[in-house]
Structure 1
Amino acid sequence: RKYPAVKIPWISVKTEIPSQIKFMDIISKKHPVDTLFFLAHINTNINAEFLNRCRMNSINNWQVFFPIHFQEYNSDVAYHNQPRPATVDLVKDAGHFDRRSFDEACFYNSDYMSTRSRMVEDVQENEDLLESLDIYEMFVKYSGLHVFRAVEPALHQQYRYRSCNPKLSEDLYHRCTLSNMEGLGSRSQLAMLLFEQEQGNST
């Protein structure tokens, strides 16, 4: 364990298909309305510098914050035939800012609750809406709040292959698959691998 002295409460949620909104519906009810939430993927590395910006860029009843993390490339591609460095710098050969990912978010519970309440009528007409939308799309379509997006150098995410939910809307599913493809490596790195493969096949 990276932080053995830290105790983190957790909630077990059983669902057939993971849904950000369904998860937040449960978590939201267990916290005060003035709670500031920070959503993140398990592979996301955070620090105090970012958490401070998360707090500053989330303004109750005015703005929600969706930072753009630095996504590391697949180490088998970025460091082909080389050892992976102990620390990864923010350089173009190591990764990129993944504008197609909305894994991280900072917002107040009261803003979530008020936005979620505006969805009730649409959800009654289409129950799949809770699975086809993510939190970002929910705020964009239903909140009326400022949805702030900005690159965040202090937020890193290790490479991972994302499992794209087929129940997502067509746009969100396409966004997820593109994020996977663009996260493999830079164009020059991928071109070099293809060149080496072709050279190997021709011999």
Structure 2
Amino acid sequence: MKWYLSLVSLCSFLTVIVLVFITTAYLIKENEVYAKENEEVALGSDDINFPYRKLYTSSIPMQNFDDDYEYQISNPPKERITFEHKELFKAAINRAASKYNLKIKDFDHGSYRLLKNGIEYNLHFHNYRNRVSIFQPLSSSFHMKEIIFSQQKVVNIILPLKGKLSSLSLFLDNLVKKILPIDENISLTIVHFNEGNADKVQSLLKQKLSTVPKFEWKFIPTNETVFSRGKGLSLGVKYGVKSPSDLVFGCDVDVLFLPEFLSRCRSNTIFEHQVYFPVLFSFFNPKLVYSLYDKTVPDILDQLHVSRDNGFWRYYGFGMFCMHKKEFEAAGGIPEIYSWGEEDLIFFEQFRKFPSIKVIRSLDTSLFHIFHSKNCSNVRDKLYPSCLSSKASSEGTQIQLGLLLFKLHEGIDVEGILNKSCTVYGQACPTCLRPFDSVHSEELCTGFRVFHSFPKVNLKVLLFLLVSTSCWSTVLLCHYNSVPMDHASKSDEHQEPGRLQST
């Protein structure tokens, strides 16, 4: 019997070894195919697949555009072409028309995508009878200039205010707990519009700022009863900021920020040359979105991070700015509009008239707009639809609002529904363990992430682990099979003939 077990064990071991080599060869082959598919093969303009035969970005779709609109995957799916994109498209269309004797008026539509070394275009003319493929390579030269900024420069925060004592309390808590312990080079000027509660506001300021006696702040009361953010900021800059070279941060009471923002405020502004209009991250309605993940709403100061689940970039908002007093006054200040909207856009557009001043417009991951209900009842007629749209977009994502609609109209229980499953690489992932986190969804599902990156695993290490595991498995299998048989044979020697032994 032992020779039989030894033969079986040997065959098992050889089978495992063969399987290991077959698997390794397969992985090596797959890795070569993977590398070959990702190899960029540049082609001449006479090749039908110009500019590349096989491109690593072949799965990335091209975005479309026509004379007036750009169609994109991200929301909104259709929007007017920006000035910068229009110039890029116009240059490509003109180049194609001049080279192939086409008329610009016969342009139908185009598509483009940004590659790591250039922009690829497909341009259609003459009712789609002519298509011109263009590859515009990026320049390999770099023009660089280093600028050293002092992070000791004082940032003067200007805050127009009417009512909203609870929001002011939260703003001051964030200032005292998260900002001042790290960056003391700031000052605060509050321009208060009369609502009969000036004493309460000053009392709250003294109470909250009592723990930071060296912090410089000013309270500027006005006799105005109707709120105008533009007028409040203009008064704050005029009476709260001394020198034309002093740095100003125009803020709102519903906006919170982290210390990193102050550093960006300083490094993105240059006196008489550069101003900063950050794009802030606006939170959704926390009572709606957190319940869908079966989560309790955390403290607001603990929500200050960017996630696709809890907010969106307020791209069309221009109300936050960093600049020096001189640039603010050169633009004529912010218009005094006594209702919702427009004053920030008008102010932003003023800087396009100054050729010597560069506007830095960038997403800022340390600047947040806190969710609050929006009242559109006092908004002018032409801005009323925009106000309602802004109010609706601030509630939640399309999926979150759709689930809420199911709950209201169909009675479906959606509490915690988004915490039960997620999809990564087109496959179902068992659970999303960390909703509202800033990491990507693929990082939530470890197994799927490892599987996805499997071709990149070191094949030598993988082979060593497989062989080692196979050898030990074979040894243990032999030992497991041999011990019971030896024990049984010895027991049979002592068993009486014709009598069964109990087990």
**Normalising by structure 1, what TM-score?**
0.78
1:20-60 Cα offsets, whole Å, 9 max, x none, are 33223322222221121111121222122110101111222
Shift in Å at residue 84 of structure 1? 1.2
Does the 8 A contact of 1:101 with 1:179 survive in 2?
no
Structure 1 distance, partners of 2:234, 2:261, is: 25
1:157-187 Cα offsets, whole Å, 9 max, x none, are 22112445635x946x655443322110011
1:15 to 207, 214, 224: 224
Does the 8 A contact of 2:237 with 2:248 survive in 1?
no
Specify the alignment match of 2:363 in structure 1.
Answer: 151
Structure 1 distance, partners of 2:363, 2:232, is: 26
State the percentage of identical aligned residues: 23
Q: CA 1:37–1:176 in 2, change beyond 3 Å: closer, same or farther?
A: farther
> When the two structures are aligned, how many residues end up with a matched partner?
189
Q: Which shifted more, 12-21 or 185-194?
A: 12-21
Specify the SS of the correspondent of 1:100.
coil
Name the aligned partner's letter for residue 398 of structure 2. Answer: R
Q: Which shifted more, 24-33 or 173-182?
A: 173-182
Specify the alignment match of 1:198 in structure 2.
Answer: 409
Q: CA 1:102–1:138 in 2, change beyond 3 Å: closer, same or farther?
A: closer
Specify the alignment match of 1:41 in structure 2.
Answer: 252
Structure 1 distance, partners of 2:246, 2:257, is: 19
Structure 1 distance, partners of 2:326, 2:345, is: 16
Specify the alignment match of 1:100 in structure 2.
Answer: 316
Specify the SS of the correspondent of 2:219.
coil
Name the aligned partner's letter for residue 59 of structure 1. Answer: I
Specify the SS of the correspondent of 1:15.
coil
Structure 2 distance, partners of 1:61, 1:90, is: 32
Does the 8 A contact of 1:100 with 1:175 survive in 2?
no
Specify the alignment match of 1:122 in structure 2.
Answer: none
Structure 1 ranges of 4+ moved more than 4 A: 173-176
Q: Which shifted more, 129-138 or 48-57?
A: 129-138
Q: Which shifted more, 94-103 or 184-193?
A: 94-103
Structure 2 distance, partners of 1:139, 1:152, is: 17
Specify the alignment match of 2:336 in structure 1.
Answer: 130
Structure 1 distance, partners of 2:307, 2:244, is: 40
Shift in Å at residue 19 of structure 1? 2.2
Q: CA 1:138–1:21 in 2, change beyond 3 Å: closer, same or farther?
A: same
Q: CA 1:131–1:67 in 2, change beyond 3 Å: closer, same or farther?
A: same
Name the aligned partner's letter for residue 151 of structure 1. Answer: L
Q: CA 1:99–1:175 in 2, change beyond 3 Å: closer, same or farther?
A: farther
Does the 8 A contact of 1:19 with 1:134 survive in 2?
no
Shift in Å at residue 69 of structure 1? 1.3
Structure 2 distance, partners of 1:140, 1:160, is: 27
Q: Identify unmatched segments of 5+ residues in structure 2.
A: 1-168, 177-207, 413-503
Does the 8 A contact of 2:313 with 2:363 survive in 1?
yes
Structure 2 distance, partners of 1:23, 1:91, is: 32
Does the 8 A contact of 1:101 with 1:176 survive in 2?
no
Q: CA 1:104–1:175 in 2, change beyond 3 Å: closer, same or farther?
A: farther
Name the aligned partner's letter for residue 105 of structure 1. Answer: F
1:90 to 288, 306, 322: 306
Shift in Å at residue 194 of structure 1? 0.2
1:64 to 268, 275, 287: 275
Q: Identify unmatched segments of 5+ residues in structure 1.
A: 120-128
1:41-91 Cα offsets, whole Å, 9 max, x none, are 212221221101011112222222111111111012111264113433422
Q: CA 1:179–1:64 in 2, change beyond 3 Å: closer, same or farther?
A: farther
Q: CA 1:160–1:154 in 2, change beyond 3 Å: closer, same or farther?
A: same
Structure 2 distance, partners of 1:147, 1:176, is: 26
Q: CA 1:200–1:135 in 2, change beyond 3 Å: closer, same or farther?
A: closer
Q: CA 1:166–1:156 in 2, change beyond 3 Å: closer, same or farther?
A: same
Q: Structure with the greater relative contact order (CA < 8 A, sep ≥ 6): 1 or 2?
A: 1
**Normalising by structure 2, what TM-score?**
0.34
Specify the SS of the correspondent of 2:411.
helix
Structure 2 distance, partners of 1:135, 1:116, is: 13
Specify the alignment match of 2:236 in structure 1.
Answer: 27
Structure 2 distance, partners of 1:149, 1:161, is: 27
Aligned-residue Cα RMSD (Å) equals: 2.8
Q: CA 1:149–1:178 in 2, change beyond 3 Å: closer, same or farther?
A: farther
